[in-house]
Structure 1
Amino acid sequence: MAAIRSLLFMLVFYGLTVPWVIAALVGAARGDKAMHSVIYAWVRFHRWCARAILGIRVEIEGTIPDGQYLFAAKHQAMFETLDFLNLLDTPAPVLKKELTGIPGWGWLAKRYGGIAVDRSGGAGAMRIMLKRTREVLADGRSVVIFPEGTRVLPGETPPLQAGFAGLYKMVGLPVVPIAIRSGHVWPRNKWVKYPGVVTFRFFEPIPTGLPRAEIEARVHRLINDFELE
């Protein structure tokens, strides 16, 4: 049954994503507000497909704070990369550069405010990422980053990537750690999805100005809260 549901999800969601991307491109020609409206309708559609077709629902633990923050989250599935647009107020996501090469979608991701990072680009790539981040922050938007760098399997707790501490120091914003449990229903690199609950656990903001070792240790511990239970 899970395989049948997953196949139906792929046909419905990905099939209808193509006209949605076209609609967003048309909206972009009219301005960011029109484009954003289409994008938010698309991510709500994604949430609906996950619930109605796959039987996956979302639970929130803790309080989602208002204001401008650096949100640092666990990353186990593609699900949360889209659902953050449902949960937060126009967040600017840090995403791998390869995603911006997807025809149509990649251009929209950059136009929306996505902060592309070339993980093999060294110091030059970091400077470009920080420049783009400053532009986003000037608009009053929050930033979402997956500080471990990539999707991981449930139970895995890799160290944070070096770029996180640099971003924390540069943006000067409190950090909101988010533990996420999603990999059990949306397995990495597998097309079959399973019914269940995706849980977002929001923690209290961590203040600015902490030494690198301390901020990395606190964020790493909190985003892996589910893994350490």
Structure 2
Amino acid sequence: MLNEWSKGVYRFRSIIGSALFNCVFIGWTAVSVTLMIVLLPFPRLVLQRAVKAWAWSQHWALKILLGLDYEIRGAEHINNGAAIYATKHQSAWDTYFFYLIFSDPAYVLKKELTKIPVWGWVARRCGAISVDRDGGASALKVMVHNARQRLSESRAVIIFPEGTRTQPGTHQAYHPGIAALYSQCDAPVIPVALNSGLFWGRRSQIKEAGRIVIEFMKPIPKGLKRRDFMAQLEIIIETRALELAKEGSQKFPNTRHRLHISRLVNSADQAPVD
């Protein structure tokens, strides 16, 4: 009875808190975007500071209205200079988090996003690296060229190898772009796992109280063959992401994904070992 009551309270808080946060998100984003349009002619770093301020406002709104915070693990692996961060992607939260820890990040994103009015203008002005997924080898060359330029400025390059958000405990095939960056850029590739989808799911208007864990891991050793690099990167990220999903669902048992994660973990535990 008490357990059902706590679930009800948790769900009620999530619904009310999400409604309030969504209002704040829409309203403050409209104000922030207006300011960013005004700042477009200014130097990039001025615009980046405005984006960073917007990101921090979203963090505090989540924390105050919903009780949703985050925890960084493996901070010792965060590079002070140029580095490529290959990160799991489960939530809209992931798209602005790196502004909380870096002053001038450069995101790798699909070309279509840079064509969105206003948002695309800001992304391009901030130095986002666009990728034409249908462009083949020539598109990869352009992406690598742009990434090298950002890295030469000692910037953090953020890439989502799957190219889309996934539910906790699931994954998509990793795209070849990350392998091109690994082999052709003189910068460490740092795997990043997280469990943000437990609390702010893809295409979900409901956010939930809890603590997102984002973990930075040791850079992938240089000199690996493409196939070996891709296999190692995927195993490291996906294994740790599943562990973080399991941990989060145990610490916050009222999340909607708890049963889903439990089934995934149980099936993984029962799978035969080669």
Same fold (TM over 0.5): yes
> Would the aligned equivalents of 2:49 and 2:103 in 1 still touch at CA under 8 Å?
no
Paired with 2:82 and 2:30, the residues of 1 have a C-alpha distance of: 32
1:14 aligns with 2:57: no
1:51 aligns with 2:63: yes
> Would the aligned equivalents of 1:172 and 1:209 in 2 still touch at CA under 8 Å?
no
Higher relative contact order (CA 8 A, sep 6+): 1
- CA distances 1:154-191 after superposition (whole Å, capped 9, x unpaired): 11133311222112111121111111111110111111
Amino acid at match of 1:41: A
My pick for the range that moved more, 116-125 or 7-16, is 116-125
Paired with 1:31 and 1:157, the residues of 2 have a C-alpha distance of: 38
Root mean square deviation, CA, Å: 1.7
* Paired position in structure 2 for 1:24: 36
SS of match in other structure, 2:20: helix
TM-score by length of 2: 0.78
> Would the aligned equivalents of 1:25 and 1:35 in 2 still touch at CA under 8 Å?
no
Larger helix share, 1 or 2? 2
Q: State the identity as a percent.
A: 38
Q: How far apart are residue 137 of structure 1 and its match?
A: 2.0
* Paired position in structure 1 for 2:9: none
Q: How far apart are residue 89 of structure 1 and its match?
A: 4.0
Amino acid at match of 1:203: M
Q: Aligned in 2, Cα 1:168/1:155: closer, same or farther, shift over 3 Å?
A: same
> Would the aligned equivalents of 1:68 and 1:141 in 2 still touch at CA under 8 Å?
yes
Amino acid at match of 1:210: L
1:106 aligns with 2:120: yes
* Paired position in structure 1 for 2:242: 227
* Paired position in structure 2 for 1:73: 87
Paired with 2:16 and 2:215, the residues of 1 have a C-alpha distance of: 30
* Paired position in structure 1 for 2:200: 186
1:147 aligns with 2:158: no
> Would the aligned equivalents of 1:173 and 1:207 in 2 still touch at CA under 8 Å?
no
> Would the aligned equivalents of 1:96 and 1:119 in 2 still touch at CA under 8 Å?
yes
- CA distances 1:134-158 after superposition (whole Å, capped 9, x unpaired): 3212222121111122111111133
Q: Aligned in 2, Cα 1:205/1:199: closer, same or farther, shift over 3 Å?
A: same
**1:201-220 matches, cutoff 5 A:** 201-220=215-234
Tell me, which stretches of 5 or more residues in structure 1 are unaligned?
none
Q: Aligned in 2, Cα 1:99/1:53: closer, same or farther, shift over 3 Å?
A: farther
Paired with 1:89 and 1:34, the residues of 2 have a C-alpha distance of: 10
TM-score by length of 1: 0.93
Paired with 1:208 and 1:143, the residues of 2 have a C-alpha distance of: 17
